Amino acid sequence: MFVKTGITVSPGVAFGEAVILDNRGFHVPRRIVPKAFQEENLERFRQALDQTAQEIQQSREVISQQLGESYGAIFEAHLEMLQDVQLKNKIEKLINQQYAAESAVSEVLQQYQEAFANLGNAYLAQRAHDIEDIEKRILRQLMGDRSWRSRLETLLESTENPIILAHNLTPSETAYLDQTKVAGLATESGGSGSHTAIVASALGIPGIVGIGPFLSHVNYGDPVILDGNAGRIILNPDEKNQEYYRGEVERDQSRKAHLQEAVDLPAQTKDGVRIQLLTNIEFPHEAEQGPAIHSDGVGLYRTEFLYLGADEIPSEEDHFQSYCKVLDAMGDKPVVIRTLDLGADKLSTLADAPCPEDEKNPFLGLRSIRLSLRNLSHFHTQLKAILRASVRGQVRIMFPLISTLTEWRHAKAALNNVKEDLDEQGIAYSPDVRVGMMVEVPSAVLMIDQFCREVDFFSIGTNDLIQYCLAVDRGNKDVAYLYNNSDPAVLRLMKQVVEAGRKAEVPVSVCGQMCSNPVYTMALVGLGFRSLSVPPSALSQIKTVLRELEVDHCREVADKILQMDNAKQVNTFLRKELSQAMSSFEFW
């Protein structure tokens, strides 16, 4: 028996047989061809591009038919990437330098993947998998290898309750998994913010990614247990685990049916206290997807995707069109747009950005609002686009990584300057745009009373608050044990913010991975939060838990954990309380 844990991207439990996909892609060496073959390679590339576009369109139609147009939009984004003129020009430039078509495609798209994968922002780093998907598609067309789908279908037909095991899966490979045949999927690499995760969740296929090496421990047809609720995979389980998980599969089916019942119900506690349940998005099309439509609005719209993978800073019109798509999709619901939240080492095209080697500690360096204030012309461009879009809906502007009151005032001054420019030009914008800030560093918490006098709303970003509070690099495996949502120091900081907001009547929301984990829902409500922002995939689960809680009991729970002195004690207590709160459901 071999047990490993990973990152759950789609909850659920599966018990079946292993189907191993060897899909690590193509290794394409740099190959220079004689100049006489240059035109031939250009033509081969252009044909492959056209054929890939047709294939992506087919993927869009398949997933739209299965799940609806909103999920098909994921492949619309792939199509837009494929049709990007800059991308095509870069590849053709290499071919004109006598690169073989395959080499040019691989070299350029590998550069794009690295640009995304090396980001300080974990969510946006997942976009590397979308680029990988496009690379695989084009190379398959160029190399004539388009048989993987038929091989997969043959394997699925000959396997009972097949569980797909692979090094990684692209969104298109995931989309073509038949949800009536595939019991689950697990990969060695990957992350929670990928489009692969979104598709797997939408298909309802239990999935775990980022497990690390495990394929060498399993053979085709071996029994496999995949516990997506616990993020655990068990290869060749013993009889005791097999017996237990047969019952878990039945309980999981009941659990899913109950979660679906909560989709259209209001997010409120058992004693009738309404909780604003917002969603986090990265791309405009996510606002059109089913889960987001059923939320109370967008609590965090990350705008970084506009800046990445491009040679030039996005124009005002690029910003404006993206924001309008989200606002149109959300109607009269609030949309909180966060300004640029990247480091200078990721945006070398920005003026005055330091060289990456000059940034010894990128997370403590020139990033987020600091970078925006250093490059005011680009900051003004983004703010102007947001204000112009504000006439289309309930826009709120949020500045990230505010450390001092001076920083906040400089950001507000930049916004006021943009308003004056728009007034002079006679361009309309909403006068009611609220302006808030992320609370992510301890200095902001210590000065929260003063911030309350000037800020319209706060949103606590738990991911960074934990990192900066505990002085831990969340990407460093050697100190990962310190990074913990349950740490009492973090909980006390959060309590201080929500209390200050309550007294000053300034709304306080909370976002981050902590929010999407039901273990912490009771604690957050008890601490005083009445607004939560979670990924679309977590909305139904968090809503279901909220509807079983009573606020007075949540307060008692919060009071107890604030007196505890270590994260393990807090986590154990919260899990026990959640289990008791959901005890009326046999399957919980």
User: Would you please indicate which residues are annotated as catalytic (active-site) residues?
Assistant: 195, 511
* 362 CB-near residues (< 8 Å, 6+ apart): 120, 343, 345
Say which DSSP state 391 is in: G
End-to-end CA distance of the chain, in Å?
26
453-457-458 Cα angle (round to 5): 100
- Phi and psi, residue 382, nearest 5°: -65, -45
Alpha carbons 567 and 380: distance in angstroms, whole number: 42
Instruction: Give the whole-angstrom CA distance, residue 524 versus residue 532.
Output: 9
C-alpha to C-alpha distance for 277 and 299, rounded to whole angstroms: 8
Calpha distance 218→234 (Å, rounded): 10
Decide if 74 contacts 59 (C-beta within 8 A).
Answer: no
Nearest by Cα to 274 from 264, 282, 266: 266
CB-based contacts of 173: which residues, under 8 Å, 6+ apart? 21, 23, 133, 148, 196
Q: Are strands 13-21 and 223-227 parallel, antiparallel or unpaired?
A: antiparallel
Q: Could you tell me if 285 and 308 are in contact, meaning their C-beta atoms sit under 8 angstroms apart?
A: no
Q: Which two tokens stand for residue 571?
A: 């986590």
Look up residue 484 and give its two tokens: 């913990």
Nearest to 327 by CA among 410, 430, 418: 430
How far does Cα 533 stand from its chain's mean position? 12
Distance between CA 252 and CA 227 in Å, rounded? 10
Tokens 């998005």 correspond to 281
Q: Please name the residues in contact with 387: beta carbons below 8 A apart, sequence gap of 6 or more.
A: 395, 418, 419, 422, 429, 430, 433
Taking the C-alpha atoms of residue 115 and residue 122, their distance in angstroms, rounded to an integer, is 12
Residues 6 or more apart whose CB falls under 8 angstroms from that of 416 comprise: none
Element (H, E) at 298: strand 298-302
Give the helix/strand (H/E) hosting 330: helix 316-330
Distances 237 to 14, 15, 187 between C-alpha atoms, Å: 13, 10, 18
User: Residue 300: beta bridge partners?
Assistant: 280
**CA–CA distance, 495 with 562 (Å, rounded to integer):** 9
**DSSP state for residue 564 in the 8-state scheme:** -
CA 140, distance to chain mean position in Å, is 28
Amino acid found at 572? T
Q: What is the 3-state secondary structure (H, E, C) of 174-186?
A: HHCCCCCCCCEEE
Residue 531, SS3? strand
Burial of residue 455, with CB atoms counted within 10 A of its CB: 0-12 exposed, 13-18 middle, 19 or more buried: buried
